[in-house]
């Protein structure tokens, strides 16, 4: 909404907003500017997406490290049971 607006009439919502290059309804003008700013922000949102470098990818399958950690934890539990059985 840049440039020189001579007349702006909103018959459905508030009547004259700008008349003869003068803002006559500042509340409605501020509302229209906010709407335009929201549109610009929404248009840039996809290009400026941010992803967390530390957050795991929730759609990916478990990594090899996770699988190995689970296997090692299971082996340690089994070894503990075997050592307890041998001590008896």
Whether residue 63 is contained in a domain is answered as no
What whole-number distance in Å separates Cα of residue 5 and Cα of residue 56? 50
Percent of the chain topping pLDDT 90: 22
Whether residue 64 is contained in a domain is answered as no
**How many domains would you assign to the chain?**
1
Domain that holds residue 39: 8-45
Q: Per-residue pLDDT tens for 40-74? A: 999 888 787 776 666 666 666 677 888 888 888 88
Whether residue 3 is contained in a domain is answered as no
Whether residue 23 is contained in a domain is answered as yes
Whether residue 76 is contained in a domain is answered as no
Q: What are phi and psi of 71, to 5 degrees?
A: -65, -45
pLDDT at 2 over 60: no
| Residues 6+ positions from 25 with CB-CB distance below 8 Å | 14, 15, 16, 17
């Amino acid at each position: 909404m840049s440039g020189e607006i001579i007349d702006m009439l909103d018959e459905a919502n508030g009547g004259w907003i700008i008349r003869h290059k003068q803002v006559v309804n500042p509340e409605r003008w501020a509302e229209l500017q906010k709407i335009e700013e929201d549109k610009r922000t929404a248009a840039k949102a996809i290009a400026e997406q941010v992803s967390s470098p530390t957050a795991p990818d929730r759609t990916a399958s478990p990594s090899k490290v996770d699988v190995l950690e689970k296997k090692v934890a299971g082996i340690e539990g089994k070894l503990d049971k075997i050592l307890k059985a041998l001590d008896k």
